Structure 1
Amino acid sequence: MLRHTLAAAAVAALAAGCSFQPAFQRPVSPVADTFPAGPAYERSDAAPDASGGRSAQGLPAADIGWRDFFADARLQRVIELALQNNRDLRTSILNVEAVRAQYLIARADLFPALDIDASATRQRTPPSLAAAGRTQVRQYSVGLGASWELDFFGRIRSLKDEALAQYLSTAEARKSAELALVAAVADQYLAVLAYDDLLAITRNTLKTAQESFDITKLQFDTGTGSELDLRQAQSVVQQAQANLQSQLRLRAQAENALTLLVGQPLPADLPAGVALGDQNLLADIPAGLPSDLIARRPDIAAAEQALRAANADIGAARAAFFPRISLTGSFGTLSPTLGGLFDSNSEAWSFVPQLTLPIFTGGAATAGYELAKVRQRIEVANYEKTIQTAFREVADGLAARGTFDEQIRQLAGLTDSQNRRLELSDLRYRNGVDSYLAVLTAQTDLYAAQQSLISARLQRLTNLVDLYQALGGGWLERTGDQPRPADTTASGDVEAQK
């Protein structure tokens, strides 16, 4: 049945050279028309950690340059170095070049192939088989050869379209890798700053604990304090010292991870940085509609191009059921002597039209066609999953953006309360009203509250960075720049990245 259907289409194909590719239709978006709404998505502009007056001015993330999103000059320089030196990004750039070469190879099959051939042949035949007693024969030839497959059924064009779509998909994937690198560098940079803050509060806690331990030890030595109080004070000092060593290790490892992302050691002449609590990221970037993600997200564009490639592969698989017509010819000179190659009677030519019609392939052509259709359905599912993932990432980012400011405000209040509680507990202990256990508990709770506040501030900032990426931001260096094609580097020079 399939052969009869395709054979009916062959008449039009022979006349017009039509393609058997199915018409491409973009799948219907498998997500809601709007992002979720509710209490988690309502931002509190009164929060003290809001963006400090810097505004996106209603611009979508894709139109905001990363230098305008990040206000920290040190972070801007680190991102710049990463875009120049990150090895994963270099690999993505080279993958684009490799797939581009594959596309050019596929496109070349649309044109005739020409070559020049020169040969010299010397052959000996036994006397009993030689004609006219000539046991040795010499033959020299020089000629121009040509071959060309007539693409009546669009097989080569389908393969060319498939290669082009794969090239565009790889280019979009490279663009997605660059956006991810900008976000990853910023996230890791902020993590280093968070460890700096943790080290500061740990050192302060250790200093306070050591002072308390010294006083408690003096009281114990003079007989006015108990050993229980002494051991409790000692445990706080030991815990703080252990925490300090752990955070020193984690901070060093975080900087090592940042160095790996940058692709080179961090220079000593980097600009001065901004503390974690003073980072001033744009926090009011509009989310737009889910349909906008199709135009803004390079990973969605890459998935669509992969789907187009699978669509073109169906056309090539359909064309495999029909004849392949090729023309081969040559023109040159042929002579038994080298000096006679260019005599007037030494011309030689050949013209060989060839038609290959598949009769029996053991089901290979049918299986190839079915395989192409299955792969196309797989790419549809991948495309839809990519959109769903993008929707989820943006929705999660909006929910976090709507709740972190209030959470940080409450944690800041909790930290102030715990600090005052420690002051009162210490005062009560020194006046003999309360035991040292109350001081120890208050000190531990204050330290935990300070850590929670730093963690929440880091999570808020990294969420803003990741939301910026999820909305398609990070491709432009400065707001107002002309967008680059997806297959170019930040500097526009591929060779400089190799």
Structure 2
Amino acid sequence: MTMSHPLNLRLWRSLMTLGTSVVLMLPFNWTANAQTAPSLAPAPWSKTKKVNPLVGGSSLDTLLLPDSQFDEKILKDSPLQNSLSQELDSDISLLLAKSLDKTPSSDKRTNLIQNFKNKPSTTPVNNSELSQSTSTGAPNRDKAPAPSDVQSPAESPSAFPAPDSLSPSAQPATFPAPTSQDSLRLPKNPAPNNLNSSGNPLLFPTKAREVDTNIRQAITLNQAIELALKNNIDLQKANISLEVEQANLEAARSALFPTLDTQFQFSRDSSPSTELNNALITANNQTLLPQFQTPLQNEQSTNAQGNVQLTYNIYTGGERSAQIAKAEKLVQNSRLQIEVIAEQTRFDATDRYYALQGTDAQVAIAQASVEDASQSLRDARLLEQAGLGTLFDVLRAEGDLATANEALTRAIADQRNARRKLAQILGVGQQVELTAADEITEAGNWNMPLDQTIVQAYKNRAELEQQLLQIEINEQDSYIALSGIKPKVDFLADYTYQNNFDNSVGVVDGYSFAAKVTWRFFDGGRAFAEARKAYRQMDLAQSEFAKQRDQIRYDVEQSYYNLISNKDNISSTRTNVRRFEEALRLARLRFQAGVGTQTDVINAQRDLANARGRFLQAIIGYNQSLNSLQRFVSNLPDNNLFEVRP
């Protein structure tokens, strides 16, 4: 082999590059820990520059991070007693900034293929160049021309818009990450008013332009919770039900006061037959004495009568007090139901928001996979043109690129579905499309141990309080049923006056007082049957209380363990992303040098895409587990129900 030949010289340089990379790998040593998978321990002389683990193009030096020391500290201490790493903020923001920039959609589609050309070259990068590229956020890349017929996701026919239209249109909000103490408070920055739906619940669109999503708004998590609490229909119905129960309570309390009834009647009696008889008598009896004629002519009468009656139930056999107590418990139960719906609404809105963040990250990961597949296709074609590769390798690379494009299309569809689900739970207008403005990062810490968390959930959950109230309501129903066979004492007072305007007697009046006692000795067993029914309902409420208590403990423990698992996985999956990035780089070097296969490159790309997905899933899973834990404990941060039991 002569070194003067251009192809041989290139092969020699590639082999030297591969040999240098293998030598640089020697200072790594594997360390095992009982609580996590093996991690890479950097050599003392290695660099400590941090890079985005989700963006390709990292060199070997940039993989030697000081995070191993941080990971060991996480493993030694309790996983829920330490603060979370803040590195993920920059990692995810760099990823989203790379794949979801603000270029117009047409420019994005045109320039996406240019990103494929700007992949790292196979020649080693010295430390000074690496430091400069890392500090600027974009490593030095060779301007090797890409093949003209490489099909990028932007060039492939698709019904989806450009990636820039799938990303938040505003910069990420600067809200601090919510913790268990402030995650449920009202946001300082309210949501825009143009996102609310119409106030008419019966209004529905009849034209296509009325459902066209021409309003795109990026919102924060706190704004999403605010919109959900404002527009949730179930919460509005629960508030109406509370007003109904409050009215029923006022009606029940009215039995504590006596009733006062008044009646007034004015009448004038004059009939045609009476007038006719008077006329006949007057005509036929002109000779009658005057003292007999006057009564015959005065058959018409004018009367006024009034009545005032006071009634009070002195004793009702316990029915009145039981009705009032039952109405009070129903009001408390309605308030607790509002609390249950509000907590569930917060949970649903937060969960949908995290799901949208996950789909945004999956789109970015799919775009990175397309870039990696395009780089592999470019390398395969260059090797084929140089006579060092085969057509089979090119076909494999083209198929892998097509598969990556399909995954990107599915990720975009999932992103759109997640946006619609978020809009549905928030109840925004028909023309609104929502995007996530918050960065993907850990939502906070949970500082309570498991046993204290379980006890706090028992104290805070409104569902348990509702079952206790249901027991008391059924108890009052038994009192109401038994009052039907108990004596009842009523007091009545009556005053009546009457005035006849046709005589000289004037006004006459009178009054009366009465006390009435009624006692039903036998009702066919109806009262006892209703009482037994109430007792059995009390037993059912007690059983439901025990079931709810056990379910609450299970939910708390499940969310708690998932929180620990996802927190540990964040550190391990971050390391795995860097490992697979390095494995992909070495696989490409081997393939370009002619000592590796295209299958190795494709497998390395697939492993890297899976590692990136697991890393994002660990973050999203951690946030969702924390959200579930907050829901299953509820009433944070004040830990107070509407009605606190002694």
**Fold shared per TM-score above 0.5:** yes
Partner of 1:151: 315
Indicate how the Cα distance of structure 1 residues 356 and 252 shifts in structure 2: closer, same or farther if over 3 A, else same: farther
| Cα RMSD (Å) | 4.3
Amino acid at match of 1:435: T
C-alpha separation in 2, matches of 1:122 and 1:455: 91
1:398 shift after superposition: 2.2
Counterpart pick for 1:96 among 232, 235, 242 = 242
Partner of 1:208: 372
Counterpart pick for 1:194 among 342, 346, 358 = 358
1:62 shift after superposition: 12
C-alpha separation in 2, matches of 1:402 and 1:409: 12
C-alpha separation in 1, matches of 2:400 and 2:496: 96
Indicate how the Cα distance of structure 1 residues 443 and 117 shifts in structure 2: closer, same or farther if over 3 A, else same: farther
The unaligned stretches of length 5 or more in structure 2 are 1-34, 37-73, 87-177, 190-218, 274-294
Q: How many residues align?
A: 429
RCO higher in 1 or 2 (8 Å CA, sep ≥ 6)?
A: 1
Partner of 2:181: 64
Indicate how the Cα distance of structure 1 residues 100 and 53 shifts in structure 2: closer, same or farther if over 3 A, else same: farther
- TM-score, structure 1 length as denominator? 0.72
Structure 2 residue 424 is matched with structure 1 residue 260: yes
1:392 shift after superposition: 1.7
Alignment partner of 1:320: what SS? Answer: helix
Indicate how the Cα distance of structure 1 residues 265 and 389 shifts in structure 2: closer, same or farther if over 3 A, else same: same
Partner of 2:446: 283
C-alpha separation in 2, matches of 1:199 and 1:92: 39
C-alpha separation in 2, matches of 1:427 and 1:289: 52
Alignment partner of 1:233: what SS? Answer: helix
Partner of 1:162: 326
- TM-score, structure 2 length as denominator? 0.57
Alignment partner of 1:66: what SS? Answer: coil
Indicate how the Cα distance of structure 1 residues 119 and 193 shifts in structure 2: closer, same or farther if over 3 A, else same: farther
1:164 shift after superposition: 0.9
Counterpart pick for 1:83 among 212, 229, 232 = 229
C-alpha separation in 2, matches of 1:242 and 1:136: 103
The unaligned stretches of length 5 or more in structure 1 are 1-38, 55-60, 477-481, 488-498
Q: Is the contact made by 2:477 and 2:534 (CA closer than 8 Å) also made in structure 1?
A: yes
The 5-angstrom pairing of residues 47-446 of structure 1 reads 51-52=83-84, 64-66=181-183, 74-119=220-265, 141-216=305-380, 225-264=389-428, 273-276=437-440, 278-287=441-450, 288=452, 290-334=454-498, 344-345=507-508, 347=509, 349=511, 353-446=515-608
| Percent sequence identity over aligned pairs | 18
Counterpart pick for 2:623 among 461, 472, 482 = 461
1:424 shift after superposition: 1.9
Amino acid at match of 2:596: D
Alpha-carbon displacement from aligned partner over 1:310-339 (angstroms, at most 9, x marks no partner): 2222222222221333344443444577x9
Amino acid at match of 2:183: W
1:358 shift after superposition: 2.8
Partner of 1:470: 632
Q: Which has the larger radius of gyration?
A: 2
1:383 shift after superposition: 1.8
Amino acid at match of 1:52: L
Single out whichever of 418-427 and 64-73 deviates more from structure 2: 64-73
Q: Is the contact made by 1:79 and 1:186 (CA closer than 8 Å) also made in structure 2?
A: yes
Indicate how the Cα distance of structure 1 residues 198 and 108 shifts in structure 2: closer, same or farther if over 3 A, else same: same
1:309 shift after superposition: 1.3
Indicate how the Cα distance of structure 1 residues 122 and 352 shifts in structure 2: closer, same or farther if over 3 A, else same: farther
Alignment partner of 1:174: what SS? Answer: helix
